[in-house]
Structure 1
Amino acid sequence: MHDLPLVIFTILSQLVIGGFVTLWWLDRKKSPISRQSGLMISISLVVLGAISVIISLLHLGHPFEAYRAILNIGVSWLSREVTFYGIFVGLSVLYTWFWLKDEAGKRGLIGGIASAIGVIAIFSSAKIYMIPAIPAWNSVTTLFSFFLTSLILGPLFVGAFLAIRSELSVNISGISITALIFAAIVMIVYFSSLQGGLPQAVEAARLTTHQLLFWIRLFTFVIAFAILTFCFKNQHIQNKKIYSLVFVILFVSEFLARFQFYETAIHL
C-alpha cells in the first residue's frame, strides 16, 4: 500500500492529460461545445490535476522539499516528469482562463502547447519505471500502457460529460474501442515477455495472475469492451448513462491494473 499515492497519481495525471487533449481536439474541430460546458470540463481537469499533484507528494518522505526534484532535469526522468507535468497543469489553468474569456484563438494555441507538454510528461513518467533492476517494468509495454491509460480514460471522461450536457457530437465509442484493442495486444505481449524473461519477471507474472484483482480487472475490461462495441453498432443508444457507466468500469479496471503493476514488481 506504500505505492498507493503513485497509483492514484499516475492514473489521475494520465486521465487529465487524455481528457485535456480530447477537449482541445474537439474544440479545434469546431464541435458544438458550449462555452459553459468547455469551461466546466476544463475546470474539472484542473482540479483533478491539482489533486493528483497533492496526492503524489504523499509518497515523498519530505513533501515540502518536492521542488528540489526539478534540479536534476538534465539527468533524471523523475525531475522531467515533475517539471513537464507542472508546466502542463500551469498551462491548463491558462487554457481554462481562455475558456472563461471565450477567446478561441488563444485557447487553441495554449491547448496545443499544453497537449504536447502533456505527452512529454507521460513519456517521462513511463521512463522512470523502465529500469533493468525490475524486469517486469523494463519494457516498452510500460510506455504503451501509460499512454493507453490516458487514451482510454481521457476521451471517455470528456465524452460522458458532454453526453450529460447533450453536446456530444463525436462517436467516442470508436476511439475507446480502438484504445482497448491496443491495450489487449499490449497486455498479451506483456505477459508473453514476462513468461520468457528472467526468473523475477516470471514470478511477477505468476503473482499477478494468481491474484483475484487480476481477474476482476480482466472481467471489467471485457465488459466495458462489450458495452462499447454494442454502442458503436447501435449509435442511437449512446447516452450519458452508457458513457458514465463505461468510464467508471474502465477507471476501476485501469486502477486495478496499475495497482498490480506496483505491487507485483520484483527487484533483481
Structure 2
Amino acid sequence: MDPREWSLILFTVLTQASVGAFLFTLWFEQRSKETAARQAYQRLHGVLIPVMIVALLASLGHLGRPMQALSSLGNLGTSWLSREIFFTGGFFVLLVLMVLLKRNDGVRRVLAWLTGLAGVAAVISMAMIYHMSIMPAWQGYGTFVAFGGTTFFLGAALAAVVLLGRAYQDQARDLRSLAWTAVVVALIEAALVPLQMAALAGGSEAAQATAALLAGPYAWLVILRWALALIVGVVVLLAAIRRLAMQQVPGSLFYVACLAILVSEIAGRYLFYATAVPLGIG
C-alpha cells in the first residue's frame, strides 16, 4: 500500500466519524428542549472542530499539489472529487460558524441543518469517488456500507464519549440511543461481510485477487478488525446499555468501546486500501 494512503485513512475515518457524531446531535436536539442538553451538544460540536482540522490536514498529505484542490472546485457538475472537497470544506466551515454563533438560536438552527446536509453529501461524495474507480473491490454497495458504517458506528462512539463530559437530564437516553445504534450498525455491517466476500470470489480476476488477499495474507487483520468491533465494541456497548438501565452512567465502558471501535475502523480502512486490486491486474 502506498504510504500516502495513510493520510486517506485518517481523512476518511475522521471526517465520517465527525459527520456521524454531528448527525446524532441534530437528532437529539429535535427531541430535547433542555438547556443543559443543548450545551452538551454544543460542546460536542466544539470537539469536532479539531478532529476535522486533523482530517483536513491529513488529506493534504495525499495531494501532490494541495492548491489544485481549490482549482478543482470548478468541476462540481462533473467530478465527485470536486464535490467531496466542496462538501467536506462546507461541513467544516458551517460547523465553525455554528460554534461561533451558538447564542443566536434562529441562525444556529438553520446552520445545523445545512451542516448536516453538507456532511451527508460529503460522505456520499467520498463513496462515489471509489465506487466509480477501476477497483472491483470498491465498486458496488460495499464502499457505501463501509463508509456509512464508519459514519454511524464510530460516530456514535465518538458522540458518546464527548457527551459523557457534561451531565444533563436526557444524558442516559442519548447514550442508550447511541449505544443501540452502534450495535445495530455493527451487526448489519458484519452480516454483509460474507456476501461481499462471495461477490468478490465470484467476480473478475481483480476481484478474486482481493478476495484471496483478504482470506490469505490479511486474514489475521480481518479477524482482529471484527474481534475488536464485535467482541470488544458491541459486547462492551451491550454491557453499557445494561448499566444505563440500572440508572448508572458507565463512562469507562464507553471509553473502552470507543477505543476498540476506532482501532477497528482504522484497521478496516487499511484493508480497504491495501487489498484493492485494479482491473487488468490479478
Question: Which TM class, normalised by the smaller chain length?
Answer: over 0.9
- Over the matched positions of the two proteins, sequence identity in percent amounts to 27
Query: In structure 1, the residue corresponding to 2:276 is in which secondary structure?
Result: coil
| Alignment partners' CA distance in 2, 1:181 and 1:251 | 16
Partner of 2:19: 17
Q: Which one of the candidate residues 258, 262, 268 is aligned to 2:269?
A: 258
Displacement of 1:40:
2.6
| Greater shift in the superposed pair: 22-31 or 127-136 | 22-31
How far residue 68 of structure 1 moved from its aligned partner, in angstroms, is 1.4
Q: Which residue number in structure 2 is paired with residue 189 of structure 1? A: 195
Contact 2:236 2:254 in 1 (8 A): no
The superposition leaves residues 59-102 of structure 1 with CA deviations (integer Å, 9 ceiling, x where unpaired) of 01112332112121111110110011111111111111233x2x
User: 1:230 is matched with which residue: 220, 229, 239?
Assistant: 239
Note the residue ranges of structure 1 that are not aligned, 5 or more in a row: none
Cross-structure match for 1:60: 63
TM-score normalized with structure 2 length: 0.88
Spell out, residue by residue over 1:226-257, the C-alpha distance to the aligned partner (whole angstroms, 9 max, x if none).
12223334433542111111111001001100
Which stretch has the larger CA shift, 35-44 or 126-135? Answer: 35-44
Q: Which residue of 1 aligns with 2:210?
A: 204
C-alpha distance after superposition, 1:181-225 (max 9, x if no partner): 221123232212111211211211221233232221121012211
Displacement of 1:179 in angstroms is 1.1
List gaps (5 residues or longer) in structure 2: none
Indicate whether 1:39 and 2:42 are aligned. yes
- Classify 1:173/1:34 alpha carbon distance in 2 versus 1 (closer, same or farther; 3 Å): closer
1:176 to 174, 182, 187: 182
Choose from 256, 259, 262 the match for 1:245. Answer: 256
Greater displacement, 254-263 / 231-240: 231-240
TM (normalized to structure 1)?
0.93
1:59, 1:97 → 2: CA distance? 30
Shift of 1:165: 2.4
Q: Give the aligned partner of residue 126 of structure 1.
A: 127
The Cα RMSD (Å) is 1.7
Shift of residue 107 of structure 1?
A: 2.0
Counterpart of 2:195 in 1: which secondary structure?
helix
Name the stretch that deviates more: 35-44 or 243-252. Answer: 35-44
> Is the 8 Å Cα contact of residues 4 and 61 (structure 2) preserved in structure 1?
no
* Aligned equivalents of 1:7, 1:219: Cα separation in 2: 20
Distance 1:185 1:120 in 2: 26
Is the alpha carbon distance of 1:216 and 1:198 closer, same or farther for their aligned partners in structure 2, counting shifts above 3 Å?
same
The reply on whether 1:2 has 2:4 as its aligned counterpart is yes
Alignment of 1:86-165 (within 5 A): 86-99=89-102, 101=103, 103-131=104-132, 133-165=134-166
Determine the C-alpha separation between the residues in 2 that align with 1:75 and 1:34.
41
CA distance in 2 between partners of 1:195 and 1:149 (Å): 24
Q: Is contact 2:236-2:256 (8 Å) kept?
A: no
In structure 2, the residue corresponding to 1:63 is in which secondary structure? Answer: coil
SS in 1 for 2:62: coil
C-alpha displacement of 1:22: 1.2
Q: Provide the secondary structure at the position in 1 that maps to 2:135.
A: coil
2:72 to 69, 78, 83: 69
Figure out how many residues of one structure are paired with residues of the other and give that number. Answer: 266
Q: Secondary structure at the match of 2:126?
A: helix
* Residue 48 (structure 1) aligned to one of 51, 68, 73: 51
Residues in 1 aligned to 2:261 and 2:192: alpha-carbon distance in whole angstroms:
16
- Return the offset for 1:51: 1.7
Distance 2:249 2:227 in 1: 22
> Per-residue deviation at 1:17?
0.5
2:223 matched to which residue of 1? 215
